[in-house]
Amino acid sequence: MAYAIDLAAIRAAHERIQHLVHRTAIATSQTVNQRTGLEIFFKPENTQKTGAFKIRGATNSVLHLKETDPACKGVVTHSSGNHGQALSYAARSAGLPCTIVVPENAPAVKAAAIRGYGADVVYCKQTPQSRQETCDEVKTRLGYVHIPSYDYPDVMAGQGTISLELLDQVPDLDAILVAVSGGGLSSGVIMAAKSLRPSIKVFIVEPKGKMLQECLQAGERIWPNPPQSVDTLADGMRTQQMGHLTWPIIRDMAEKSTIAVDDQQITAAMKFTFERMKMVVEPSGATTIAAVLSDRFQELAKEHSLKRVAVIISGGNVDLDDLPWCSNKTPST
């Protein structure tokens, strides 16, 4: 089957963006190793430029667009925050105007950062339909190019550069844990990892309520329509359905068993990472940390005889005045 991206596209993305993004260093935790009985290697994209992995796909998309359409008037997208920040940063670097459509419930820190990178912010309702409709209106009115946050080949290829770095830094991995929303990160990571190391296992981490494991085991999209949002603390992972370009890669290459985490696990993982690993992570970034510390992961590790596992931390853009253990949003752990 022909997929939206391949290893060649990911390698081309790496050549295009490597001088503009960080090669994030591998982090380890003796405490995590002791708790899991495994060697765990963290890929901390929370230390990436703009605070999340999204800068990879956004930069690749903007630079490729400039190559193919030098007369482009500008770019637009809808985003809960991190893709918006990344596209704003990438567009400013390339000298392109940028507008970001942001759901009205997005963290204020992310909207402020988008403005700080020079983009215009337009608010919309938090439904997937409102996000798309508002983005389409801006695109038509201003003549901008829409660069989606996940279902876009250049975005997917850019995110896949994480695996190129990761397998160069830790070449003998048994498995990777990666979080999923629309699938831009996970599809790119899986395509590169499985192309370079076919025996590697990639486990998807999802918020409870996403229904990805049911879809994977059925081998088809069984999400309800119209598209719904997931009720989760992980604000960057509230999209329930995966993209139509990202889904086939996940369906065919990811492990059929996922690791689902709830708000209490996410909160505990955030607090653990702040206190013990001395890193700032956002709720979405903490989902994979919650997963690696879960009983479910222990079951999968034994089932697949895992020894060396990478955990991708997707981002660290969190409002420090609204940490979950300092509010009534979720139980303190």
Give the active site residues.
54, 80
Spell out where the chain has E strands.
Answer: 39-44, 75-78, 98-103, 120-124, 145-146, 175-179, 201-207, 259-261, 308-313
- Sorted by sequence, the CB contacts under 8 Å of residue 63 that are 6+ apart come out as 16, 17, 90, 94
Q: Residues 190, 183: contact at Cβ < 8 Å?
A: no
Q: Residues 65, 147: contact at Cβ < 8 Å?
A: yes
Q: How deeply is 326 buried, as exposed, middle or buried, from its count of CB atoms within 10 A (0-12, 13-18, 19+)?
A: exposed
For 100, 118, 138, the CA distances from 124, given in Å and listed in that order, are 10, 19, 12
What is the rounded (10 degree) CA torsion for 220, 159, 110, 232?
Answer: 30
In this structure, which amino acid lies at residue 250? I
Query: 74: left (phi > 0), else alpha (psi -120 to 50), else beta?
Result: left
**Residue 144 Cα to chain centre, angstroms:** 24
User: Is the dihedral angle over the CA atoms 177, 180, 183, 184 positive or is it negative?
Assistant: negative
Local structure of 315: helix, strand or coil: strand
Distance CA 2, CA 66 (A): 26
